[in-house]
Amino acid sequence: MVTLRRTVRFCVNPPGEVRAAAGEESGAPGFSGRPSMRGLGRFYEVEVQCRGDTDASTGYLLNIADVDRAVRTIVIPIVERECRERPATDPGVLMSEMTGALDRALRGRLRALRWRLTPYYSVEMATADTTRVVLREQFDFAASHRLHVAGLSDEENRRLFGKCNNPLGHGHNYRVEPAVAVKVGPGRKPALSLQDLERLVGATIVDRFDHRNLNEDTPEFSTSGGGLNPSVENIAKVCYELLAPAVRKESGGEAELLSVTVWETDRTSSTYPG
């Protein structure tokens, strides 16, 4: 059993622009997608996740040319239709139609479809549960911290945490990505929108931690108050515990926070629950 992922990039161009010039689909595989952008178009990515057993002779699960063809004949026309006829449509309500049709075209091999509307905002639907989509967006806040355990000696703390034990602390530009499962259905407006999520993250996480000394200014990580050591693992856990009840209350139980990922740097991140 293997999982195969394929990303397809494309642009939805303004009305009146031709969808693709002759021969464009077989042109150089530029990162700006096919069809390429004309005028003030829209750029999207879809990631197709397939799962199954590989063919014994070819080693393929699926030919990626078949995956591309299915996306271009099924997914892109749906997106183009909505951009043209109902541009205010919530992306989540389209996922069931796209996921079901794509799974049939790929002979039941589709595991999940993820639509990236921007590099930092996406919706995803799994074939195992087409009653909800997973909404993700990334946020950031700047904060300083010091890694120090009161129960250890100064020497032990320096040996364990190195420069991160600097008594004056050090800073990070933290990046935070919640993953929220939201119920969807035909003709049903999602109970939690992107704007709702942005407001909740701002109120519960960004306003609380941005431009703060985590050890000195926050009860969750207070050195004097017995708070948690502000490691990236503990920060992800605290962000989850702060945001989960807010999501549940805002949506009337129609949305659930699945996880929160926090990046301390571009090389170090933690997801809670893991």
Together in a domain, 44 and 162: no
Together in a domain, 78 and 115: yes
**pLDDT for the residue 114:** 98
| Domain termination site, one of 127, 152, 172 | 127
Structure-block tokens of residue 138: 């990334």
Our answer to whether residue 264 is catalytic in this structure is: yes
pLDDT tens digits along 85-123: 999 999 999 999 999 999 999 999 999 999 999 999 999
pLDDT tens digits along 119-172: 999 999 999 999 999 999 999 999 999 999 999 999 999 999 999 999 999 999
Together in a domain, 74 and 183: no
User: How far is residue 260 from each of residues 16, 153, 180, 216, measured CA to CA in Å?
Assistant: 42, 32, 9, 23
Query: Does residue 187 or residue 72 have the better pLDDT?
Result: 72
Together in a domain, 146 and 116: no
**pLDDT for the residue 22:** 40
Active-site choice (17, 164, 254, 256): 164
Active-site choice (82, 177, 220, 264): 264
**pLDDT for the residue 189:** 84
**pLDDT for the residue 34:** 85
What domain count does the chain have?
A: 2
Together in a domain, 224 and 163: yes
Instruction: Report yes or no: 152 and 101 within 8 Å, Cβ to Cβ.
Output: no
Together in a domain, 151 and 114: no
- Report yes or no on 266 lying in a domain: yes
Look over the chain and give the mean of its residue pLDDT values, rounded to a whole number. Answer: 93
Together in a domain, 48 and 160: no
- What share of the chain in percent tops pLDDT 90? 87
Together in a domain, 76 and 153: no
> What residues have CB less than 8 Å from 72, skipping those under 6 apart?
8, 10, 25
| Domain termination site, one of 78, 103, 127 | 127
Q: How sure is the predictor about 213, in pLDDT bands with cuts at 50, 70 and 90?
A: very high
- Report yes or no on 232 lying in a domain: yes
Torsion of CA 250, 99, 121, 50, to 10 degrees: 120
| Domain termination site, one of 102, 127, 152 | 127
- Report yes or no on 84 lying in a domain: yes
Our answer to whether residue 239 is catalytic in this structure is: no
Together in a domain, 10 and 38: yes
Q: How sure is the predictor about 23, in pLDDT bands with cuts at 50, 70 and 90?
A: very low
**Domain containing 32 — which CATH number?**
3.30.479.10
CA-based end-to-end distance of the chain? 22
Instruction: Report yes or no: 202 and 167 within 8 Å, Cβ to Cβ.
Output: no
pLDDT surpasses 50 at 212: yes
Range 7-13 average pLDDT: 94
**pLDDT for the residue 256:** 98
Together in a domain, 48 and 143: no
Is this model's pTM higher than 0.75 or not?
Answer: yes
- Report yes or no on 105 lying in a domain: yes
Active-site choice (25, 156, 170, 211): 211
Range 222-248 average pLDDT: 96
Our answer to whether residue 24 is catalytic in this structure is: no
- Report yes or no on 132 lying in a domain: no
pLDDT surpasses 60 at 25: no
**pLDDT for the residue 260:** 98
Q: How sure is the predictor about 63, in pLDDT bands with cuts at 50, 70 and 90?
A: very high
Together in a domain, 221 and 155: yes
pLDDT tens digits along 161-208: 999 999 999 999 999 999 999 999 877 789 999 999 999 999 999 999
Together in a domain, 150 and 239: yes
Residue 85 CB-half CA count within 13 A: 6
Range of the domain at 167: 137-272
d(CA 258, CA 256): 6
pLDDT surpasses 80 at 21: no
